[in-house]
Structure 1
Amino acid sequence: MTLTQLRAFLAALDKGTFTAAADELDVSQASISELIVRLESEIGAPLFVRASRRLVPTSAADELAVHARRTLRAAEDAVSAMRSITSLETGVATFGVSRNANFYGLANLVQEFHALHPGVRIRMVGLNSYAVAQSVNEGEAEAGLVILPVPFEGLRYEPLLTDEVFFATAGPRPSQGRAELEDLVEAGMVLYDAHSGWNDPTRRQLLDRAQGEGMRLEPIIEVEQADSALTLVSAGTGATIVSGSLVRAGRIPENVQVFPFREPLTETLALISRDDAPVSLATREIMDLTRRLVAGSQTA
């Protein structure tokens, strides 16, 4: 049983004659007739009673029609899915981005991609690097941009850049202009990425460092956005950490100073995708744009 046979059968069923079915499929009447005869031979039952003016479907035809339509729809869906992988005309590109993505030059990512490929729908998902990596790991997103490290195996990692993380305070200057973890703890930690908590890669680095030094980390306030944390710090409520991307973007309040840590704290920005799953052409194009925009943000 072939898709061609099923198409011929459904055309004959819907049009009522072999002649009309042949016109519908742009083939000869003899071809339609031969396909139907072969199909009847394979299933071992007649599909039509050949009346003088119109084909009369048998009970076998009524039963086969349900499966034939389902099979052809599945075949069409498969073709559409493959086209989305191999073309930039249709399909959906699902890409995950984490916090601060705009500060690495990605503010125009969606706009640029849509202008180039208006037929492709775009889904940008995620908030924190952990959530983005989880969505890629579970197949919800094809690829994403995250801060490393993330605790998922089976992902392909492509580091793009490493950025320094700074101590930010409106209080006293750290000794010799370089901060210790104790400075953050003593000032009172105001941390962002409250939803992800210690799953956040940068916060996880702080926790690992604290555990290695026998210290306990307990934020006095947790918020979701870095800007919110900086507003609190500017008002004299504790201290926080900020990536170099926010410093370069001028997002630090005037009365807040930033200092490097004595033992440098860094974030590595990376593209991720699954090792065991193909990435559509559309998503590969988004990844290429991301590489270019991130590289440009470092030379701007």
Structure 2
Amino acid sequence: MASAMTLQQLTYFLAAVEHGSFSAAAEALYIAQPSLSEQIRRLEHSLGVPLFVRTNRKLVLTEAGHLLLPRAQHVLVATNEAEESVRGVRTLTGGTVAFGTFSSAQHLLLSGLITDFRAQHPKVRIRVVGLNSSEVADAVRDGVLEAGLVALPVDDRGLDVSGVVWTCEVVYLSADPSRVTEPPTAQQLAEAPLILPEARWGNIDPTRRQLLGRVQRAGVSLSPVAEVESPALALTLAASGVGDTVISLPLARSLGYLERLHSVSLDPPLHETFAFITRRDAHLSPATRVLMELVTKHLAALETCDPVISHIEGAGDE
């Protein structure tokens, strides 16, 4: 069975037509003349017809050669256009990077992150989507986003989770200093007037799942008095004395609530754990790799967040 024609063969064919001989075409392409002749011979073999009449003076196109000529030109023009269309993505002079983050990252990272990325690569568009970590995992798995930064655990089927994670402490916050004199027990968490964020996701939210597991192991239930979508709103309500909340320490600090609320660590300490996720064995674009490096830089600058090398055992859902 004859092999299919290649772009290299079409390039050599067009060069031979342009320069009138195999030797002149080979010289123009900086290759050995026998190599060019052999590729054109293979092209003729795959098509089943001769493309040139070989004369002592100049190559002459056969009827088949004349028919192939405009089509070969069109193929190479289209190939060059295809290469050019993705050149910006490869060289960071065009294209769009699509990245997902946990919802509260807008308060911790995104302003500085986007500013830095745009300063370095002003011709690359950036699309950063803030979602619950479960939604980010779904979007990366479905190919809607190329990569994401999520709070663990998430359903990691079909995903690769980075071997370096960041842990940030989660604290109990109240406007009443008497309620934070010591770490609350699981029983006290169950009885506290808690205002918890991520209302839409509830117990699927990674941090909520940790709290739920803690009180359930003590034989009690978690019953917040209010659930809201935004961590910022939960903090605002806590500062107004409506109830208490459990929020990551760097987020409370970033939003300026450590001056308005009293805080105490949980016992044992509770941490949010963040990691990058990508589709399993995915080839990331240069822009996404640069963005992830910048995310790492901004995470390292957060107080009370520390990088930890991990094998991510048990990161996914059971």
Q: TM-score range by the shorter chain?
A: 0.7 to 0.9
**RMSD (CA atoms):** 4.1
Alignment of 1:52-201 (within 5 A): 73=78, 76-77=81-82, 80-81=85-86, 84-85=89-90, 87-153=91-157, 154-171=159-176, 173-174=178-179, 176-201=181-206
Q: Which amino acid aligns with 1:140?
A: V
Give me the TM-score of the superposition, normalised by structure 1: 0.72
Q: Which amino acid aligns with 1:219?
A: P
In structure 2, how many angstroms separate the alpha carbons of the residues matched to 1:128 and 1:254?
27
| Pair 1:2 & 2:2 matched | no
In structure 2, how many angstroms separate the alpha carbons of the residues matched to 1:198 and 1:210?
13
In structure 2, how many angstroms separate the alpha carbons of the residues matched to 1:126 and 1:7?
47
Instruction: Check conservation: 1:184, 1:240, Cα contact below 8 A.
Output: no
Instruction: Check conservation: 1:167, 1:184, Cα contact below 8 A.
Output: no
Which residue, 274, 285, 293 being the options, matches 1:288?
Answer: 293
Q: Which residue of 1 aligns with 2:237?
A: 232
In structure 2, how many angstroms separate the alpha carbons of the residues matched to 1:100 and 1:44?
64
Instruction: Check conservation: 1:189, 1:219, Cα contact below 8 A.
Output: yes
SS at match of 1:241: strand
Q: Which residue of 2 aligns with 1:214?
A: 219
Instruction: Check conservation: 2:141, 2:279, Cα contact below 8 A.
Output: yes
Q: Which amino acid aligns with 1:265?
A: L
In structure 2, how many angstroms separate the alpha carbons of the residues matched to 1:103 and 1:243?
12
Instruction: Check conservation: 2:189, 2:222, Cα contact below 8 A.
Output: no
Q: Which residue of 1 aligns with 2:273?
A: 268
How far 1:120 moved relative to its partner?
1.8
Structure 1 residues 141, 250: closer, same or farther in 2, change over 3 A?
Answer: closer
Structure 1 residues 73, 211: closer, same or farther in 2, change over 3 A?
Answer: farther
SS at match of 1:203: helix
Instruction: Check conservation: 1:227, 1:251, Cα contact below 8 A.
Output: no
Instruction: Check conservation: 2:172, 2:247, Cα contact below 8 A.
Output: yes
In structure 2, how many angstroms separate the alpha carbons of the residues matched to 1:107 and 1:160?
21
Instruction: Check conservation: 2:180, 2:262, Cα contact below 8 A.
Output: no
In structure 2, how many angstroms separate the alpha carbons of the residues matched to 1:255 and 1:41?
81
How far 1:158 moved relative to its partner?
3.8
Q: Which stretch shifts more, 118-127 or 72-81? A: 72-81
Q: Which amino acid aligns with 1:119?
A: K
In structure 1, how many angstroms separate the alpha carbons of the residues matched to 2:303 and 2:192?
32
Q: Which residue of 1 aligns with 2:313?
A: none
Q: What do residues 219-253 of structure 1 show as CA deviations (whole Å, max 9, x unaligned)?
A: 33222111111222233323211111123325317
Structure 1 residues 176, 222: closer, same or farther in 2, change over 3 A?
Answer: closer
Instruction: Check conservation: 1:103, 1:245, Cα contact below 8 A.
Output: no
Q: What do residues 132-158 of structure 1 show as CA deviations (whole Å, max 9, x unaligned)?
A: 232223332222222222221431324
How far 1:266 moved relative to its partner?
0.9
How far 1:283 moved relative to its partner?
1.2
SS at match of 1:165: strand
SS at match of 1:214: coil
Instruction: Check conservation: 1:136, 1:142, Cα contact below 8 A.
Output: yes
Q: For this pair of structures, how many residues does the alignment match?
A: 278
Give me the TM-score of the superposition, normalised by structure 2: 0.69
In structure 1, how many angstroms separate the alpha carbons of the residues matched to 2:94 and 2:213?
45
Q: Which amino acid aligns with 1:101?
A: A
Instruction: Check conservation: 1:98, 1:129, Cα contact below 8 A.
Output: yes
